[in-house]
């Protein structure tokens, strides 16, 4: 173990590969940034080695034995329980067995001394590493933990809320893992005859774990019981709430259950009640921060936040309220629901079933002598009228509205029936906001030649070179990004705009021409964050949308370069595609006709290696059908499924396996061995295959 000084898993892997495969020409083309799993997959392709075989070859360079095949391997229950599941999930570990008082653990980074020390402490015994490919570790960990939980499923169904139940521990472990990764939401949904758990981090969904169907169903029942929902009712949508302390922080969870075609799905939103909202700590640029503070430093008027769901409107409004929240000020909010507790403010929750609508609540609170009123959302004519009247009569009113940009809010309010003269006098400031991911400050790297197409176009338009690119490290989970920052378009009303609005002007081109001051464009706001090294051009383009380049070109007074791209996109062969892995020519002919009737293309191949090449060549492939030969035994079928799962990534795409009639009774055994694919016994009618494919796409 001579490379302990290497600072990242990628560097340690690269050193081991260079010692083991020195001189191999294909290694020069590899990208050694990002997460370990894609790098292992790329290595397997370049070296033409199965991941298990690659681990065998690399193990001596790491100074540890190889773990051997993991999929389908029997894991000792005592060993699995020796380390916390959340720790194994976060560090990419899988306990395998105990040998003479030593815990044997599979890992893909055996030279991380810190993780080894923590594992020894948590296990309370010596730990020895075994090298395994990270993608195989992930799948094996899913099977091992969900199989263990499945053993508890039957007795736990009658006591899903017991504090010591297996499902209570599983639910808490999932929530703790989500919070540890800074997730805003946790999703549990049916997937391929199992359940998938994903988390949303910095606006993007990541897979956390997959669970067997019995585990997923019981886990959903557990959450519903904890959130005062009916755990036996799974045919109608339900909403619930719960409070919990995770990692020493108090969270309110908003929980939504929704029936789907293959079972219920559940989404939990984490609302950190200990979070302190400050405009100065929200990541705004100095110019935006000054404009926002000017917006609320007025005794009356209507201040609107606009943008799509999840763009940070509520957080910005709470940041404004935090700066206004003084003992001498009376603040009342009307929300649906109340998301965060604001000390010193009176917060009213809308309840339409009880007759407490936005309109009725607003009419009542205006008699409570408020100085500042926060309205969760202006969604109808009644709320819009009351909000503008309140702003006109000496109150500072803060609210949200769903529009794409700031100036569009004016015709939207006029269309809701607000009197033009009242709107002209009451509207003060409109802020349109988006969020884009922020570069990880620990691993971002300077932009170097050659420039990407997006970076090149940015240089041509602005005459400025972007500063940094994402790299990837442990701190950012090897994504290159950590946290999000806001970019804004701020419309500040002026005399010319007020005069135009007072006569009912709705044309956006006219209203845009009358703007002065403020931040006139989200594209320019985002461009400033690129030049300050906070984010990348691609992130701003993704946040702003197709209007980014025209807005930026207008601001800089240049012609838009020909061929300007919105964002790097994969080249698709045209339309969705599916893949059939079989040696049966007649089945290929039948399925080709059925698939083409769906408007899709069919790729047919004979073996997993070819299938893997097709997957990398055509990213439009969205479904896989695998045909098991008639002469295969149960053991051969299970082994083939394990090989296919690794090579063809069945855990990440919907898949259907065609079984020979002799294996019809083996479906349960194959599932117990970890297969997550759907099964269909041959001979399969084309129409039945078609229905299975359609159902999979509907999911």
Q: For the residues of 535-558, what is the DSSP string, one character each? A: S-HHHHHHHH-TTHHHHHHHHHT-
CA dihedral 637, 642, 646, 651 (to 10 degrees): 90
Domain total of the chain: 4
Question: What is the pLDDT, as a whole number, of residue 129?
Answer: 94
Q: Mind listing the pLDDT tens digit for each residue in 507-517?
A: 888 888 887 76
- The whole-angstrom separation of Cα 593 and Cα 589 is 7
- The whole-angstrom separation of Cα 335 and Cα 347 is 7
Residues 27 and 46 sit within 8 Å (Cβ to Cβ): yes
- The whole-angstrom separation of Cα 85 and Cα 105 is 13
Same domain, 310 and 342: yes
Same domain, 584 and 552: no
- The whole-angstrom separation of Cα 268 and Cα 333 is 24
At residue 676 the predicted structure's pLDDT band, cuts being 50, 70 and 90, is low
3-state secondary structure of 330: coil
- The terminus-to-terminus CA distance of the chain in angstroms comes to 46
Tokens coding 399 = 């609210």
What is the crossing angle of helices 548-556 and 453-462, to 10°? 30
Q: What is the CATH number of the domain that holds 481?
A: 3.40.50.300
Tokens coding 310 = 């999840």
Residue where a domain terminates, one of 272, 299, 323: 272
Same domain, 353 and 244: no
Average pLDDT of span 548-568 = 70
Q: Is the pLDDT of residue 518 over 70?
A: no
Within-domain flag for 147: no
More confident residue, 316 or 631: 316
Same domain, 256 and 289: no
Same domain, 40 and 62: yes
Q: What is the CATH number of the domain that holds 108?
A: 3.30.300.160
Same domain, 283 and 268: no
Burial class of 599 by CB neighbour count within 10 A (0 to 12, 13 to 18, 19+): exposed
CB atoms within 10 A of CB 615: 18
Q: Mind listing the pLDDT tens digit for each residue in 414-433?
A: 888 888 999 988 898 899 88
3-state secondary structure of 214: helix
Q: Secondary structure of the chain: what % helix, strand, coil (to 5)?
A: 45, 20, 35
Same domain, 396 and 545: yes
Question: What is the pLDDT, as a whole number, of residue 647?
Answer: 62
Question: Which residue in 581, 580, 584, 583 sits closest to 592, CA to CA?
Answer: 580
Residue where a domain terminates, one of 69, 102, 132: 132
Q: For the residues of 394-426, what is the DSSP string, one character each? A: T-EEEEEE--SSSTTHHHHHHHTT--HHHHHHH
Within-domain flag for 3: no
- The whole-angstrom separation of Cα 626 and Cα 473 is 37
Q: Mind listing the pLDDT tens digit for each residue in 191-213?
A: 766 788 888 888 888 777 777 77
Q: What domain range is 73 assigned to?
A: 9-132
Per DSSP, what are the bridge partners of residue 372? 331, 396
At residue 382 the predicted structure's pLDDT band, cuts being 50, 70 and 90, is confident
Within-domain flag for 562: no
- The whole-angstrom separation of Cα 349 and Cα 435 is 27
- The whole-angstrom separation of Cα 80 and Cα 407 is 58
More confident residue, 639 or 163: 639
- The whole-angstrom separation of Cα 465 and Cα 575 is 36
CA-only gyration radius of the chain, Å: 29
At residue 699 the predicted structure's pLDDT band, cuts being 50, 70 and 90, is very low
Within-domain flag for 146: no
Within-domain flag for 287: yes
> Residue 547, by phi and psi: left (phi above 0), alpha (psi -120 to 50) or beta?
alpha
Distance of CA 222 to the CA centre of its chain: 23
Same domain, 374 and 513: yes
Average pLDDT of span 518-528 = 80
Same domain, 211 and 227: yes
Q: What is the CATH number of the domain that holds 685?
A: 3.40.50.2300
Beta strands in 585-677 (DSSP E): 601-605, 621-627, 655-659
Q: What is the CATH number of the domain that holds 195?
A: 3.30.450.90
3-state secondary structure of 434: strand
Average pLDDT of span 264-289 = 81
Same domain, 246 and 312: no
Q: Mind listing the pLDDT tens digit for each residue in 122-132?
A: 888 999 999 99
Same domain, 302 and 214: no
CB atoms within 10 A of CB 404: 16
Residue where a domain terminates, one of 103, 132, 161: 132
Within-domain flag for 566: no
Within-domain flag for 572: no
Question: What is the pLDDT, as a whole number, of residue 646?
Answer: 63
Same domain, 506 and 591: no
- The whole-angstrom separation of Cα 685 and Cα 672 is 27
Within-domain flag for 144: no
Q: Is the pLDDT of residue 540 over 60?
A: yes
């Amino acid at each position: 173990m001579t490379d302990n000084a290497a600072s990242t898993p990628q560097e340690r892997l690269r050193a081991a590969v260079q010692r083991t495969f020195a001189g191999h020409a294909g290694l020069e083309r590899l990208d050694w940034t990002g997460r370990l799993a894609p790098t292992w997959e790329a290595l397997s392709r370049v070296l033409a080695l199965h991941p298990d075989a690659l681990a065998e070859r690399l193990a001596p360079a790491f100074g540890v034995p190889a773990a051997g095949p993991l999929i389908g391997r029997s894991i000792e229950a005592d060993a699995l329980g020796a380390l916390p599941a959340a720790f194994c999930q976060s560090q990419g570990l899988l306990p395998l067995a105990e040998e003479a008082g030593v815990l044997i653990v599979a890992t893909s980074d055996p030279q991380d001394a810190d993780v080894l020390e923590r594992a020894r402490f948590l296990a309370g015994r010596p730990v020895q590493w075994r090298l395994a490919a990270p993608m195989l570790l992930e799948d094996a960990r899913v099977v091992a933990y969900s199989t263990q939980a499945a053993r508890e499923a039957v007795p736990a169904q009658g006591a899903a809320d017991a504090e010591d139940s297996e499902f209570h521990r599983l639910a808490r472990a999932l929530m703790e893992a989500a919070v540890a990764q800074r997730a805003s939401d946790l999703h549990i949904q049916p997937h391929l005859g199992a359940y998938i758990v994903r988390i949303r981090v910095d606006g993007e969904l990541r897979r956390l774990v997959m669970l067997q169907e019995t585990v997923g169903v019981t886990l959903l029942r557990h959450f519903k019981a904890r959130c005062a929902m009916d755990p036996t009712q799974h045919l109608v949508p339900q909403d619930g709430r719960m409070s919990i302390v995770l990692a020493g922080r108090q969270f309110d969870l908003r929980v939504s259950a929704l029936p789907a075609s293959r079972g219920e799905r559940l989404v939990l939103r984490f609302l950190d009640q200990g979070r302190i909202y400050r405009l100065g700590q929200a990541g705004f640029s100095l110019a935006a921060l000054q404009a926002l503070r000017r917006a609320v430093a007025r005794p009356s008027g209507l201040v609107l936040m606009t943008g799509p769901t999840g763009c940070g409107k509520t957080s910005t409004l709470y940041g404004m309220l935090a700066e206004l929240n003084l003992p001498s000020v009376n603040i009342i909010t009307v929300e649906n629901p109340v998301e965060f507790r604001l000390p010193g403010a009176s917060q009213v929750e809308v309840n339409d079933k009880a007759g407490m609508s936005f309109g009725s609540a607003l009419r009542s609170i205006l008699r409570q002598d408020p100085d500042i009123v926060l309205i969760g959302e202006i969604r109808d004519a009644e709320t819009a009228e009351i909000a503008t009247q309140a702003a006109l009569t000496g109150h500072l009113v803060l609210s949200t509205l769903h529009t794409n940009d700031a100036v569009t809010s004016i015709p939207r309010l006029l269309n809701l029936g607000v009197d033009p003269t009242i709107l002209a006098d009451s509207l003060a400031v409109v802020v349109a906001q988006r969020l884009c991911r922020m570069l990880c400050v620990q691993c971002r790297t300077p932009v170097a030649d050659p420039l990407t197409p997006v970076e090149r176009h940015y240089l041509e338009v602005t005459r400025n070179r972007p500063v940094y690119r994402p790299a990837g490290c442990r701190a950012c989970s090897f994504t290159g990004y950590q946290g999000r920052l806001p970019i804004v378009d701020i419309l500040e009303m002026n005399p010319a705009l007020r005069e135009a609005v007072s006569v009912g002007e709705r044309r956006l081109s006219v209203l845009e021409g009358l703007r002065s001051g403020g931040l006139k464009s989200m594209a320019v706001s985002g461009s400033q964050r690129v030049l300050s090294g906070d984010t990348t051009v691609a992130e701003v383009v993704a946040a702003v949308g197709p209007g980014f380049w025209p807005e930026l070109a207008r601001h800089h007074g240049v012609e838009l370069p020909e061929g300007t791209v919105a964002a790097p996109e994969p080249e698709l062969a045209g339309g969705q595609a599916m893949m059939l892995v079989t040696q049966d020519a007649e089945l290929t002919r039948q399925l080709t006709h059925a698939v083409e009737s769906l408007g899709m293309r069919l790729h047919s191949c004979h073996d997993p290696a070819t299938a893997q090449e097709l997957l990398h060549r055509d990213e439009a492939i969205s479904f896989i059908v695998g045909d098991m030969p008639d002469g295969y035994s149960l053991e051969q079928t299970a082994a083939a499924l394990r090989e296919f799962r690794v090579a063809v990534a069945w855990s990440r795409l919907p898949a259907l396996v065609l079984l020979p009639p002799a294996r019809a009774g083996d479906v349960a055994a194959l599932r117990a061995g970890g297969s997550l694919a759907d099964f269909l016994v041959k001979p399969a009618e084309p129409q039945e295959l078609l229905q299975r494919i359609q159902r999979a796409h509907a999911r």
